[in-house]
Amino acid sequence: MTPVSTYRPEAQKLMVLGLPLIGSNLAQIAIGITDTLMLGWYDVEALAAVTLASHVYFVTFLLGAGFAWAVMPMVAEAVSAGEPVRARRVTRMGNWLSVIYGLVMMGPLFFSAPIFRAIGQEPQIAQLAQDYLRIAGWQLVPALIVIVLRSFLSALERTQIILWVTLGIAVLNIPLNYLLIFGNFGFPELGIRGAALASLITTSISLIALLIYTQVKEPSYELFVRIWRVDTEALGGVFRLGWPIGLTSLAEGGLFTASTVMMGWLGAIPLAAHGVALQLASLIFMVHVGLSQAATVRAGQALGRRDEPALRCTGATALALSAFVATLTVALFLLVPGFLVGLFVDPTDPARDQIVAVGIALLAVAALFQTVDALQVMVLGLLRGVQDTKVPMWLAAVSYWLIGLPVSYVFGFVLGWGGTGIWAGLVVGLAMAAVLLSWRFWGGSVRIGVEGPETA
């Protein structure tokens, strides 16, 4: 039997694996923050529209990324069990499923303005959001393949390259936005379409970089040899593990998108403030996502070795690290909220004071849900590592949609609490998910047997 790991060495392993993933996630979200920040300085309507459009794109992306994220624990288990051929097969089929999904979803993104108007958004905001999505839709396929390659490399603990590539495109996105949004140095002034085009360019560059690295540094896996051949066994495995992951992510992302729609019912000012506050909360959340991804890899490795004590040690250590970050975040959001929100709005904009005031109230609520949001994503990562995805999907869906969303509506509109009430409902949904998922992992439902994971 593999000896039980001590907590300090496990923390070191999680940090070595997780820090580059945290950095790459922060760099990735920085691209969205850059878009929000620069469009906020460009025009308040553009800021409101990108808040709406980016959420729709992100939810669409999350659903398809389930297949890509399924690659991570499957490759981690295969490599730990000494089966590199299986690692290659699941990665190839992860690419297949990602491409198919991306092509199917381009149509709804292209014709999105009528949908936005039908759910109560202002016509001008709906049109601008569609302008953004008509360009961003072309980004979906390369973005999903990037996640497949990131999952493969993460499972091999090759996380440094992920960090450097993501940092590079995050930096490149800034001058591209400067040129394409504002029309500087002779470039056309494209506004919100310029932000979408800049993101498309940077995503394509990141895909090329990861493809080159994988071919040069990991040639033994031969990921793209006979890529056209279907592998029904591996395809079925990735699909079975991936669709619950995608739907779980959709349930959570959809909750925030629904909250964005409800904020849009309150007007452009609350919607813009919501976009700023959510970008700030998302920035910190990426730290927890990086730790969660590291926990997924470590849990997958424990699964490959059939080492349950190591799995439990990984879980406790990952949760402790995440709790520490959440505590620091609560202090930050409560101490300097006005400064943080004010960074995203032009000082000369006449609506600045209103946006900052609403944003301060929202960050106060965001401070409350940091802890429960961190807990639920960490436990999800551990459950994915042992390839337990179907029951967590249902637990998350019930928490977010049957509890969180109705409470948001009641607090926001029935009780008249407005945007603060909508966000308070998010706290309730995330807290319920954290409780149920923790019960799933720690309550004895998940065990690693000699034949693989056992779930009740």
Q: What are phi and psi of 386, to 5 degrees?
A: -95, 15
Q: How do the residues of the chain divide into helix, strand and coil, expressed in percent and rounded to 5?
A: 85, 0, 15
- Model pLDDT, residue 150: 92
Q: How many CB atoms lie within 10 A of CB 113?
A: 19
List 453's β-bridge partners, or say none: 448
- Model pLDDT, residue 456: 47
By the 8 A CB rule, do 81 and 158 touch? no
- Model pLDDT, residue 341: 83
Give the HSE-up count for residue 148: Cα atoms under 13 Å, Cβ half-sphere: 29
List 447's β-bridge partners, or say none: 454
**What contacts 131, CB < 8 A, 6 or more positions away?**
49, 192, 193, 196
Distance CA 246, CA 249 (A): 5
> Three-state SS for 346?
coil
> Three-state SS for 448?
strand
| 5-34 exposure pattern, b = at least 16 Cβ within 10 A, e = fewer | beeeebbebbeebbbbbbbbbbbbbbbbbb
CA distances to 146, 401, 432, 436 from 375, rounded to whole Å, are: 26, 18, 11, 11
Strands (E), 293-445: none
**Distance between first and last Cα of the chain:** 24
For residue 117, what are its two tokens?
């108007």
Distance CA 170, CA 269 (A): 28
Distance CA 346, CA 276 (A): 13
Residue identified by tokens 């051929």 is 85
- Helix crossing, 418-442 with 352-385: angle to 10°? 10
Distance CA 257, CA 262 (A): 9
Low-confidence residues of the chain: pLDDT under 50:
1-5, 450-451, 456
> Three-state SS for 446?
strand
**What contacts 273, CB < 8 A, 6 or more positions away?**
341, 354, 355, 356, 357, 358, 359, 362, 419
So where are the chain's domains?
A: 13-455
Distance CA 271, CA 276 (A): 9
For residue 110, what are its two tokens?
């292209």
- Model pLDDT, residue 450: 47
Cβ burial, residue 42 (10 Å; 0-12/13-18/19+): buried
- Helix crossing, 192-217 with 44-80: angle to 10°? 20
Q: How many CB atoms lie within 10 A of CB 83?
A: 14
List 448's β-bridge partners, or say none: 453
List 449's β-bridge partners, or say none: 452
For residue 430, what are its two tokens?
């995330």
- Cα-only R_g, the chain: 21
The CB-based long-range contact list for 203-207 (8 Å cut-off, 24+ gap) reads 203/139, 203/142, 203/143, 203/146, 203/169, 204/139, 204/142, 205/168, 205/169, 205/172, 206/146, 206/165, 206/166, 206/168, 206/169, 207/142, 207/145, 207/146, 207/149
For residue 448, what are its two tokens?
């690693």
